[in-house]
Structure 1
Amino acid sequence: MYPFFKIDQKILDAAERAEDMVRPQMEAVEKNTEYNQQRMLAAFIKNGVSESHFAASTGYGYGDRGRDALDRVFADAMGAEDALVRHNFVSGTHALTVALFGVLRPGDTMLSVTGIPYDTLRSVIGLTGNGIGSLKEFGIRYEQVDMTPSGKPDYDEIERRVQPGLRMVYLQRSRGYSLRPSLFVEEIEKIARMVKRKAPDCIVMVDNCYGEFVQRTEPVSRGADLMAGSLIKNPGGGVAPTGGYIAGKKGLVEMCAYRLTTPGTGREIGATLGNNRELFMGAFHAPHVTGEALKTAVFTAALFRQLGYKVSPNYDEPRADIIQTLLLENETALVAFCRGVQKGAPVDSFVVPEPWDMPGYDCKVIMAAGAFTLGASIELSADAPLREPYAAWMQGGLNYHSGRLGAMLAAQSMLEQGVLKE
């Protein structure tokens, strides 16, 4: 079955058992994927997407029909009033930063109710780094509510802390470099309702990275006011070469557009430089590719459970994002796993990942990402900080067949290094 790769029989047997175990989960993923693909196709048809929308604009980009149509497609597919989709968002953190600076003002308070945000956003807030250009430097206060010991939102504490006049409640849907469960849209909806009861004017904002098209609805269709994410994750479908999006209430998205460009011009300017075709195509493929990434994650969880490792989420648990965490217990196993993932990449498979001091992180990080788009986490990748509990965070997989193989090659790498459990 694997004529082109050397994989030990122990791993092949574990993979076969894993495949049998996950059949019900794979069927559930397929059903969700079909639903989400339909809502994306409906958005394309509703907005009359045509060849003319793929034309490039230059200079100021006035009258770019494709740019405007792409915004409408995203808004409809996400269940939002409006959306801002741009190739010149350089990362998900950039899109989140534009949103935060777009709607927060000096003297406002941002309350994170999912604990401390992801590493790269901490310098944006002013929690780390030299503070230059941070929210803190602009007089915006930051507070947080930690998750419960079980990793769930502390609803009682959130209700206590939300008071009239609070400007923003911020939620991070994905787990980041933590082991807490990712948030489901139902949990986000519960928090949003609680917030609106006590502070109707409070903005509920969601970092939606890794969560798009995993469930059948998105946070902005279930009570959140604003959300943002990266196009080299789920919503770019493995086709978008760069970019990000902001979606939500129309007035708030407009404020974000003024921050992205200039007050008064907002979304009316910004040349697309020939990127429209890839962004449209990426959006169209996004539900299917997200489904393939979910299948890869489910299989990987089952495989490594068979090999004796703790995983989160388990193969048979519901999922709120595409991330699969594997507790590999020591640095050597962690590095071997990531190097095995790299060996299964279509691009740069010969590269040997090494831990390094990556900007925005407080310790060495190892990353495996042999991707067509540099750093694209919708393509099979794995990364981890070299610290306790020595867990690898794996995500992506443009197609299940190669994603499945990548997980097996990661196990093979660990076996060859003598660190795979007996």
Structure 2
Amino acid sequence: MFDTFHHSEQLMALEKQAMEKLSSQLQVIDQRAEQNQWRVLNSFRHQQISDAHLQGTTGYGYDDFGREALEAVYAEVFGAEAGLVRPQLISGTHAITVALFGVLRPGDELLYITGKPYDTLESVIGLRAGGHGSLKDFNIDCGIVALDKGTINVEEVCRRITPKVKMVAIQRSRGYGDRPSLSIRSIQSAITRIKAQHPDIIVFVDNCYGEFVETLEPCHVGADLMAGSLIKNPGAGLARVGGYIVGNQDLVAHCAERLTAPGLGKEVGPTLGMLPEMYQGLFLAPHVTAEALKGALFTAASMEAVGMMAQPLWHEERTDLVQSVTFHDPERMVAFCQAIQQCSPINAHVKPVPSPMPGYDDPVIMAAGTFVQGASIELSADGPLREPYTVFVQGGLTFAHVKYAILFAIDTLMEKGMLPVGQAQ
């Protein structure tokens, strides 16, 4: 089946139908990628990046001008004053944690204004048991303001901001939630209105999965601080580890002293031969993000065509890479993820099964045959085994790979008789 599925007339017709639907949207994605590529290229030129910047350091990492220039490029590309871009930031969750602990102090309050944050952050904040040294342990409280029909409830946010509230936090992507992701336009509107009443409030944005999907980033529209992972969009599949924090210069300095040590800050931190992949990853990021975004649209159009529930719908506005498919059945969910794994370049022979995972209450199934372990810019399909049994499909280094994998997964479900009645005919 693996060698012949793509010759099926039914699948060829499905692919053709999806591509015809998506034609105009794919052109828009290409146009945005060109704008983003120009912004990145101009920053490399402006910062006068040379081959000398690619060498890096070991040990303490003193006088690493390649690291300093990379952080200047990140700051410029993302519309910020300063940047902290390090291989020592091991994930998006870690980068966010450093940002929160770097800025907040005992007695402060953090207000998440996009509902409960992503699962792995609940232990960081102290919203669930487990872990040691959460914000709650340091007497830093966290309040939650739910979204109102998918948008930030600015009136409620402003009502909840007291003198204790030092920072409001926005999660741009949906994570494992059933809410929509937030567009830059909606983030800008919320920031403008909140700061009109509370000009001293610090606005932090979790930017994971959102980089280069639109032509502006949160710091371009008023965010004071934001963070993300290099094994998501900005690393383009080349960065093997790393995270970034960008924003106002004084806030980034606080974060640097939390990552390293007070008094050392940004002055230390070896790059260990990783600068070439971090620079090149950022340079390729607009293109690779566009390929993954095309794959998300194709996933939505194809899965909708065979009777699955997809969010966002194929024609809806995109502001991140996350595409969900809801199966309402654990067996179908598992079969889909296993098929995606079979169509992976790495570990295609491995069969993923639902398993416990740190930071999650439910077993998680994760199809991720990636070159970099856990890289969300590479094609993966995962989700917690809980109702309504939703898989979150994200990434894809090439559009062609995503197409093949989704068609193969559909073919697998057809063979197993797992598609809704009438859709597999």
Instruction: Output the TM-score relative to the length of structure 1.
Output: 0.97
Segment of structure 1 superposing worse, 97-106 or 299-308:
299-308
Distance 2:163 2:193 in 1: 12
Q: Is the 1:165–1:201 Cα contact (8 Å) retained in structure 2?
A: no
Q: Give 1:164 deviation, angstroms.
A: 4.6
In structure 1, the partner of 2:284 is 285
Q: Which amino acid aligns with 1:414?
A: L
In structure 2, the partner of 1:28 is 28
- The 3-state SS of whatever aligns with 1:280 is helix
Distance 1:130 1:316 in 2: 40
What CA deviation, in whole Å up to 9, does each residue of 1:206-247 have, x standing for no partner?
100000000000001101100000000001011000000001
Map of 1:177-196 to 2, 5 A cutoff? Answer: 177-196=176-195
Q: Give 1:85 deviation, angstroms.
A: 0.4
Distance 1:283 1:217 in 2: 15
In structure 2, the partner of 1:303 is 302
Map of 1:7-22 to 2, 5 A cutoff? Answer: 7=6, 8-22=8-22
Q: Which amino acid aligns with 2:259?
A: L
Q: Is the 1:124–1:134 Cα contact (8 Å) retained in structure 2?
A: yes
- The 3-state SS of whatever aligns with 2:366 is strand
Q: Give 1:165 deviation, angstroms.
A: 4.8
Q: Percent identity among equivalent residues?
A: 48
Q: Give 1:50 deviation, angstroms.
A: 0.9
Distance 2:258 2:412 in 1: 46
Distance 1:238 1:59 in 2: 26
Distance 1:328 1:5 in 2: 26
In structure 2, the partner of 1:95 is 95
Q: Give 1:3 deviation, angstroms.
A: 9.3
Distance 2:170 2:19 in 1: 34
Q: Give 1:350 deviation, angstroms.
A: 0.8
Q: Which amino acid aligns with 1:272?
A: T
Answering whether residue 206 of structure 2 is matched by residue 214 of structure 1, we say no
Q: Give 1:198 deviation, angstroms.
A: 2.0
In structure 2, the partner of 1:86 is 86
Q: Which amino acid aligns with 1:89?
A: L
Segment of structure 1 superposing worse, 315-324 or 183-192:
183-192
Q: Is the 2:234–2:281 Cα contact (8 Å) retained in structure 1?
A: yes
What CA deviation, in whole Å up to 9, does each residue of 1:29-48 have, x standing for no partner?
00100100110111111111
- The 3-state SS of whatever aligns with 1:186 is helix
Answering whether residue 89 of structure 2 is matched by residue 58 of structure 1, we say no
Q: Is the 2:56–2:67 Cα contact (8 Å) retained in structure 1?
A: no
Segment of structure 1 superposing worse, 379-388 or 126-135:
126-135
Q: Which amino acid aligns with 1:154?
A: N
Number of aligned residues? 420
Q: Which amino acid aligns with 2:392?
A: W
Distance 1:375 1:275 in 2: 18
Distance 1:131 1:399 in 2: 37
Q: Which amino acid aligns with 2:332?
A: A
Q: Which amino acid aligns with 1:82?
A: A
Q: Is the 1:166–1:199 Cα contact (8 Å) retained in structure 2?
A: no
Q: Give 1:12 deviation, angstroms.
A: 2.6
- The 3-state SS of whatever aligns with 1:296 is helix
Answering whether residue 93 of structure 2 is matched by residue 105 of structure 1, we say no
In structure 2, the partner of 1:360 is 359
Q: Which amino acid aligns with 2:143?
A: E
- The 3-state SS of whatever aligns with 1:167 is strand
In structure 2, the partner of 1:323 is 322
Q: Give 1:416 deviation, angstroms.
A: 2.5
Distance 1:231 1:131 in 2: 24
Q: Is the 2:2–2:408 Cα contact (8 Å) retained in structure 1?
A: no
What CA deviation, in whole Å up to 9, does each residue of 1:229-267 have, x standing for no partner?
000000101100000000111110010000000111100
Distance 1:9 1:337 in 2: 21
Q: Which amino acid aligns with 2:333?
A: L
- The 3-state SS of whatever aligns with 1:99 is helix
Q: 1:131/1:401 Cα in 2 relative to 1: closer, same or farther (>3 Å)?
A: closer
Q: Give 1:131 deviation, angstroms.
A: 5.0
Distance 1:191 1:338 in 2: 36
In structure 2, the partner of 1:256 is 255
Distance 1:246 1:3 in 2: 42
Q: Is the 1:162–1:195 Cα contact (8 Å) retained in structure 2?
A: no
Moved over 4 A (4+): none
